[in-house]
Amino acid sequence: MSARRKLLLFPACGLVAALVWTTVGSFTTASGQTQPTVIARAHAGDHGPTYTQPIFILMLGGDLRQGNSPHTRTDSIHIVAIDPRTLHASILGIPRDSYVPIPGHGSSKINDAGEFGGPQLTIATVENLTKCRFSYYTLTSFTNFRRVVDEFGGITFKVTDNLAPDHFSKYNFHPGVYHFDGADALAYARNRHTRPAGDFDRSFAQGQLIIAALAQQQANSKKDPGTILRALGAIYRNIRLNIPIGEALKLGLLSLKISPKNVTNAVMKGGLGTGPGGSSIVTVTPQARNQFVDLCSDGQLGNG
C-alpha cells in the first residue's frame, strides 16, 4: 500500500479508533495465539449503510479470562448510533447482568450470549431486545489496552467525580483535567467498586471515554504527518478491519464531522433483582424499553 493510500486510510480509522479506544486489544486463544480487535459487518451479505438513515454499531468488550475467544463473555456492551443527516451520535450502555432472552438458550444474563454463541449470538440477543438492526460490530478486550492507548499518545480527559480510590482497578483520581496514559484510561474504564451505581456508572464512564477518544482522534488528525503515521501503525497492529477500505474511509470521514458536544451518552435504565440461584441481575424496566424505542427509531436518544 502506498504512503498516500495509507494517509487516506487514516480518517477511515478515526471512527474505528474512537470506537475501540476504550477496550482495544487482542484476544488470546486456547493455543496461545492472538487475534486483533475485530470490526466487521453485523450481518453477512449485507451491503454498507446508505447514509440516509441512522447507522448502528454494537461494541462488545470480551472477558479474556474465559480463554476461548471469540466465544467469551462480553462484559462491556454499548450501542453506538450515528445519524449522518444531523451529525449527531448516541451511546447507550447495556449492563452486563441484564437478564434477557437469549435465542436458543432461554433467559440469562446478557453477557452469557457471547459465551454461548460468540458475537453473532450477542448481536441477535441485543437486536431482539432493542429492535435496533446493526450494520457493524466491534469485538475487543482489555489485553494490550495500556500499550495501544500509549501508542496513540493518550487521551485528554476531565474527571468530574470525586471517588474513593479502588485497589481492584487502580482507580485513584481527583476532579481535574488529566492526559490519561494507557494505565490511567484502563483504571478509569474498569472501576466499579467505588462508583455509587456500580456497573451502571462504569458503563457510563466507558461512554465518556469513547467521547473523549473521538475528540482526541479529531485533534490528532489535524497534527503533523508523523503523528498520523504513528496512530495508523497502532491501528494496523491491533485491529482487523473486515469491511471494505472505501466503506471504512466514508465512515471515518463522517466521524470526523461529528462534534463530541453532539454525542449523547446514557446507560440502560434497569432495575436490580435476583435471578436463578440467588444471583444478582439487572431487570429490563419499561423505562429501558422506552430508551430502546427512542434510540432505534431515529438513532438519537432524547428525541422521541
Say what the pLDDT of residue 246 is. Answer: 73
C-alpha cell belonging to residue 59 = 461494541
Helix/strand number for the chain, H first, E second: 8, 14
Say what the pLDDT of residue 118 is. Answer: 87
d(C-alpha 149, C-alpha 57), whole Å: 21
Say what the pLDDT of residue 178 is. Answer: 96
Q: With helix as H, strand as E and coil as C, how does 47-93 read?
A: CCCCCCCCEEEEEEEECHHHCCCCCCCEEEEEEEEEECCCCEEEEEE
Residue 159's contacts (CB-CB under 8 Å, 6 or more residues apart) are 173, 174, 175, 176, 177, 178, 188
Q: Within its chain, how far is the Cα of 209 from the centroid?
A: 10
SS3 category, 284: coil
Rounded to the nearest 5 degrees, what angle is found at the Cα of 122, between the Cα atoms of 83 and 212?
A: 45
d(C-alpha 286, C-alpha 24), whole Å: 33
Q: Is the pTM value of this prediction over 0.75?
A: yes
Distances (CA, A) of 253 to 38, 39, 48, 210: 20, 17, 15, 17
Say what the pLDDT of residue 31 is. Answer: 42
In the beta sheet, which residues pair with residue 10?
Answer: none
Say what the pLDDT of residue 160 is. Answer: 94
Distances (CA, A) of 9 to 16, 35, 198, 217: 11, 22, 38, 14
- Name the stretches of the chain with pLDDT < 70: 1-37, 62-71, 141-148, 221, 223-241, 245, 249, 303-304
Say what the pLDDT of residue 250 is. Answer: 78
Positive or negative: CA dihedral 138, 230, 179, 253: negative
- Indicate the class that CATH gives domain 3-147+224-298: alpha beta
Say what the pLDDT of residue 155 is. Answer: 87
Domain boundary assignment for the chain: 3-147+224-298
Say what the pLDDT of residue 241 is. Answer: 64
What are the pLDDT digits (tens) for 68-116? 455 677 878 999 999 999 999 999 999 999 999 999 999 999 999 988 9
d(C-alpha 218, C-alpha 229), whole Å: 14
Say what the pLDDT of residue 15 is. Answer: 44
Say what the pLDDT of residue 26 is. Answer: 37
